Amino acid sequence: MHIMKPRWTIILSVLLLFALVGAASALYAEGCKWVDLNKSGSKDTNELCQAGWTLHIKVTNATATIRDEDFVTNTAGTTGKFNYLLPVPAGTTTSSVTISEIPPTGYTVVVPAGVGNPPTYSYGPAGKTYTAATTTNLSGFSFGNQPDTYTAEGCYWIDANGDSQQATDGSEPCLAGKTLHANVWEGNPANPSPIKDEDFQTNTAGTGGKFSYTLPAVPY
C-alpha cells in the first residue's frame, strides 16, 4: 500500500492540472452598435442594436497583446447586445481593453463623442485581472453612427387603369423625370424654420425603382 499511494497522488495531480487548464473563462465584451436615425447625438428607444457591423477589439497586458482583431456585431434588437468572447488567459491583468470603430463610408461615429479625427474611437476598462472563474462581462460599450446624408425615397407612377393602386405586374412602373416639390423644416413644430423649399426631378424608373431625394444634413 505504501507503494501505491504516491502513484495515486501523481495521477490526481495530473487530473487537477488538466481541470485547471481546461477551465475556460466565459468572459464577454458586450455592447450595442446602433444608428442615430434622428441625428440627436444619443440613442433613442427606436434606435435598436444592430448586427453585422465591423468593430475592432484590442486587449493588452503589460507585456503582450492578447487580442487584436476585427469582429462583427452578432445580435440585434431593443436589448440586443453584441457579445464578443474574450478567451483571456487566466491570471492575466489587462492594461487595456478597447473596442474601436472606423465607420464605413457614408457614416460618422457620434458616440463615443468628442474624440475628434481621425475617426477611430476606442474606450474600455483597464487593469482588470482575469481568473479562470471570471464571468463578469465587460459591458457598456456603445457605438452610434450617423449617416452622412439622408434621403427621401418614393415612387412617381401613373394609375393607368384607374383603380387607385399601383399595379404589381409592372404595367404602372415608377417614372423618372417627373417634377415633385420638397418642403423641409426644422425646429419647434409650432415655429419651424424652412430649410428646403424646392422642386426636384424624380431620378429613377422601373417597377421597383424609387426616386431618391437627398435631404440636408440637419436633425429631423
The site for Ca ion (CB under 5 A) is made up of 36, 38, 40, 44, 159, 161, 163, 167
CB of 53 to Ca ion, least distance (A): 16
Q: Is the bond preceding 103 in cis, omega lying within 30 degrees of 0?
A: no
Q: Which is nearer to Ca ion, 95 or 108 (CB)?
A: 108
Which SS3 state, helix, strand or coil, does residue 2 take? coil
CB of 59 to Ca ion, least distance (A): 30
CA dihedral in degrees (158, 164, 169, 172; nearest 10)? 0
Q: If you ran DSSP here, which 8-state letter would residue 210 be given?
A: -
Residue nearest to Ca ion (CB): 40
Q: Which is nearer to Ca ion, 69 or 169 (CB)?
A: 169
Q: Which is nearer to Ca ion, 125 or 147 (CB)?
A: 147
> What does the alpha-carbon distance between residue 207 and residue 174 come to, in Å, rounded to a whole number?
6
- Chain-centre distance of CA 198, in angstroms? 35
Q: Which is nearer to Ca ion, 69 or 163 (CB)?
A: 163
> What does the alpha-carbon distance between residue 54 and residue 145 come to, in Å, rounded to a whole number?
12
CB of 171 to Ca ion, least distance (A): 8
